[in-house]
Amino acid sequence: MPKYLLIMRGTDESNAAMMANIDEMMATSRRFIEDLFKAGVYVAAEGLDDPAKGVVVDFGGESPVVTDGPYGETKELFGGFFLIDVASKEEAVEWAKRVPAAPGAKVEVRRVPGSDETPR
Amino acid sequence: MGITDVEAVWRIESARIVAALTRFTGDFGLAEDAAQEAVAEALVSWPRAAPADPAGWLMATGRRRAIDAIRRRAALRDRYAVLATEPAIGSVAGEEFDPDRIDDDVLALMFVSCHPVLSRESRVALTLRVVAGLSSEEIARAFLVSVPAVQARITRGKKTIAAAGVPFELPPAAERRERLGGVLSVVYVIFTEGSTATSGDRLLRPDVAYEAIRLARTLAALQPDEPEVHGLLALCELTAARFPARTAPDGSPVLLEDQDRSRWDFSAIQRGLAALAKASVRGLGPYGLQAAIAATHAAAPSVEATDWDRIVLLYEALIRVAPSPVTELNRAVAVAMASGPEQALAVVDELVASDRLSGSHLVPTVRGELLARLGRRPEARAELELAARLCANEREREVLLRKAAGLG
């Protein structure tokens, strides 16, 4: 059965809105994860730290180049994920609609191919 | 919103809605009917206008249909009584989900669907329908039976629950463990149908196995202190981890010794091992022991490098806590790997003499295999041909006939 990765994509505005209500956001996130867990579809979930604290390792040159800070000029930054094991793409989308997110944020739904789908 | 979107919402909500409606009406059969009516209405109205809160819409509609049914029933029984009951219904109808209660209600729903008064077929059908949220068509496809047959199992199951006066509640503490065993066995029956289809032209049906894993995960979330729940989940995860390597591109079975172990699902193995760790806190039960056997295979780089002595020990322990001729046969296979075919043949012959597995293709399959390894080719061939005649899965039968032919 397919797994799907629900990728949180926040903007500066949505991240600021989220931080302003961080306690409420944490509580709703926790409830959402409990719902996933009790529905038998939870595999993994994590939230990421401030992209400004990140490091990028760039393989563009002969040897990897390490730079501090967020990746490129992307406006919507990867802020966290939920990995779920569901019956269909439609179900993944239904769960994505229930992800606790601040206004302006987006959730990208990506399918994870099974290990039986890789070429032999 | 399309039909598949309605189905997706129903997959997520069915257990909670049927549980809440059963709590509300005190009548499991009526609640299930009302919930199904709500889904049928959603299939008609959502494609035209999608509700803002689909889950709330289903719950409210289900509740209205339940009230309608109670009123119809009351009107039939006593036209005056309905006046007396109406205000009571009205006040409960406004209640919302109580998150603390709904978990227990979903659990109670699983216990009712798997109640010992029901036939095995009804338990499986009801669990898939009300807890997993599958349609009759999906259940029929999963078990290779007709849709009317599934509907009959569900109808009969609901009537049996009403006739036997099965209450909607968690079993009393003294019965809880035993009743939980009944729920686990229903989940395992569903898993087994997906992992070794008893009939039909496909060996594996991962979509059916997935439903069982999902149910096991829900049970593990709701009953985290029950080791055997984690044992069953571990067994399912570790068995399903081998699915990608168990069939060739043409759908034919690949035996354990020929499987490309790099194709095993590493994430599923890790999830299985984590569940097994939770299962072993107070010593392993039957599901935990089977999971431990699967984990021993998962840890081995090849059949030769497998710790077969450990597997024999685990099978012996399993036979003591849950005696079964199939397990004894599996022990024989492990003995063959640990100590050689001669000793294993003695175990199988003992099993044949006890006549506890007559009619199964498994005994002649294993016996034929052992005889072949001992160089007793004509006897081996006869056994494998017998096994092929008894085997109901076409894919397995082809393998048996190929092996028999190979023995000249």
Cβ contacts (< 8 Å) between A120 and chain B: which residues? 249
SS3 assignment, position B382: helix
Neighbour-count burial for B366-396, b at 16+ CB within 10 Å, e otherwise: bbbbbbbeeebeeebbbbbbbbbebbebebb
Is B272 within 8 Å of B191 (Cβ atoms)?
no
CA A5/CA B218 separation, integer angstroms: 20
Q: Which two tokens stand for residue B273?
A: 């091992």
With CB atoms and an 8 Å threshold, state whether A116 touches B263: yes
Q: How confident is the model at residue A89 (pLDDT cuts 50, 70, 90)?
A: very high
Beta bridge partners of A109: A6
Cβ contacts (< 8 Å) between B106 and chain A: which residues? 38
Among residues B322, B307, B305, B297, which one has the least CA distance to residue B241?
B297
- pTM equals 0.89
Q: Tell me what pLDDT residue A120 has.
A: 52
Interface test with A, best of B102, B137, B210, B215 (most A CBs within 10 A): B210
Q: Tell me what pLDDT residue A73 has.
A: 65
Is B219 within 8 Å of B229 (Cβ atoms)?
yes
CA B373 vs CA A21, B331, B350, B376: distances in Å: 70, 17, 19, 8
Residue pLDDT, tens place only, B341-372: 999 999 999 999 988 888 889 999 999 999 99
Q: How confident is the model at residue A19 (pLDDT cuts 50, 70, 90)?
A: confident
Q: Which chain B residues have any C-beta within 8 angstroms of a chain A C-beta?
A: 2, 4-5, 7-9, 11-12, 54, 103, 106, 206-207, 210, 213-218, 221-222, 243-244, 249, 263-267, 271
Nearest to B8 among A42, A43, A90 (CB): A90
Is B230 within 8 Å of B244 (Cβ atoms)?
no
Residue A71 confidence (pLDDT) above 80: no
Q: Tell me what pLDDT residue B79 has.
A: 56
Fold annotation for A3-112 = Alpha-Beta Plaits (3.30.70)
| Strands A65-68 and A77-85, bridge-based pairing | unpaired
Q: How confident is the model at residue B106 (pLDDT cuts 50, 70, 90)?
A: very high
The total of other beta-carbon atoms located within 10 Å of residue B5's CB is 19
Residue A7 confidence (pLDDT) above 80: yes
Cβ contacts (< 8 Å) between B221 and chain A: which residues? 37-38, 40
CA B238/CA B280 separation, integer angstroms: 15
What percent of chain B is predicted at pLDDT more than 70? Answer: 94
Is B368 within 8 Å of B404 (Cβ atoms)?
yes
Whole-complex ipTM? 0.87
With CB atoms and an 8 Å threshold, state whether B266 touches A37: no
SS3 assignment, position B26: coil
With CB atoms and an 8 Å threshold, state whether B8 touches A38: no
Instruction: Return the residue of A nearest to B5 by Cα.
Output: A90
The alpha carbon of residue B216 is apart from the nearest alpha carbon of chain A, in Å, by: 7
Could you tell me where the DSSP H helices lie in B223-340? Answer: 227-240, 243-246, 266-279, 286-299, 308-321, 325-339
Cβ contacts (< 8 Å) between B5 and chain A: which residues? 90, 93-94
Q: Tell me what pLDDT residue A34 has.
A: 95
Instruction: Break chain A into its structural domains and give their ranges.
Output: 3-112
Q: Tell me what pLDDT residue B97 has.
A: 60
Q: Tell me what pLDDT residue B226 has.
A: 95
More confident residue, B250 or B97: B250
Q: Tell me what pLDDT residue B356 has.
A: 85
Cβ contacts (< 8 Å) between B52 and chain A: which residues? none
CA B276/CA B254 separation, integer angstroms: 26
With CB atoms and an 8 Å threshold, state whether A40 touches B271: no
Residue with tokens 């009351």: B74
Cβ contacts (< 8 Å) between A87 and chain B: which residues? 8, 11, 207, 210, 214
The total of other beta-carbon atoms located within 10 Å of residue A57's CB is 8
Is B347 within 8 Å of B321 (Cβ atoms)?
no
Phi, psi of B204 (to 5 degrees): -115, 145
Interface test with B, best of A4, A28, A36, A85 (most B CBs within 10 A): A85
Residue pLDDT, tens place only, B134-189: 999 999 988 889 999 999 999 999 999 999 999 999 999 999 999 999 999 999 99
CA B56 to chain centre: 29
Q: Tell me what pLDDT residue B143 has.
A: 86
Q: How confident is the model at residue A62 (pLDDT cuts 50, 70, 90)?
A: very high
SS3 assignment, position A42: strand
Q: How confident is the model at residue B253 (pLDDT cuts 50, 70, 90)?
A: confident
Residue pLDDT, tens place only, B274-308: 999 999 999 999 999 999 999 999 999 999 999 99
Q: Tell me what pLDDT residue B77 has.
A: 72
CA B304 vs CA B263, B336, B344, B389, B397: distances in Å: 18, 12, 17, 31, 26
Residue pLDDT, tens place only, B2-55: 899 999 999 999 999 999 999 999 999 999 999 999 999 999 999 999 999 999
A1 and chain B in contact, CB less than 8 A: yes
Mean pLDDT of the B91-106 span? 68
With CB atoms and an 8 Å threshold, state whether B4 touches A90: yes
